[in-house]
């Protein structure tokens, strides 16, 4: 499973995925992530909670990185000719009834 900022940001979803991952002996699924995903997560966490100290904001990020260390994706290249749509945006376009205000 490729982790996204939206999945990291929801504490309930983040906690459940980590629990399933750890309790399954890390065999149910693998969580893949990039530094960009963690940067975006920390940015939105700080934006929503500007008074969190480093242990609270950075600590969450460090815990995620430690827990899912084997899933870190590095040294990848991006094809500049490729089209990489945001799957959530595509879902909302395909199903207008699912649109709702989302804020981070």
Where do the domains of the chain lie? 5-75
Q: What is the predicted pLDDT for the residue at 100? A: 52
Residue pointed to by tokens 């309930």? 12
The whole-number pLDDT of residue 104 equals 47
Rounded to two decimals, the pTM is 0.68
The CA distance from 22 to 71, in Å, is: 13
d(C-alpha 50, C-alpha 43), whole Å: 10
Token pair recorded at residue 99 = 């649109």
Instruction: Note down pLDDT in tens along the chain; length 104 residues.
Output: 787 777 778 888 888 988 999 998 888 888 899 998 899 889 999 999 999 998 888 888 899 999 999 989 998 887 778 777 666 665 555 555 544 555 44
CB 9 within 8 A of CB 104: yes
């Amino acid at each position: 499973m490729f982790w996204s900022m939206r999945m990291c940001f929801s504490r309930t979803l983040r906690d459940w995925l980590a629990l399933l991952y750890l309790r399954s002996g890390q065999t149910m699924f693998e969580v893949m992530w990039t530094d960009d995903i963690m940067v975006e997560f920390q940015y939105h966490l700080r934006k929503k909670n500007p008074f969190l100290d480093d242990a609270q904001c950075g600590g969450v990020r460090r815990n995620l990185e430690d827990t899912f260390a084997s899933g870190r994706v590095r040294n990848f290249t991006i094809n500049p000719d490729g089209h990489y749509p945001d799957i959530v945006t595509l879902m909302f376009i395909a199903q207008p009834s699912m649109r709702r205000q989302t804020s981070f």
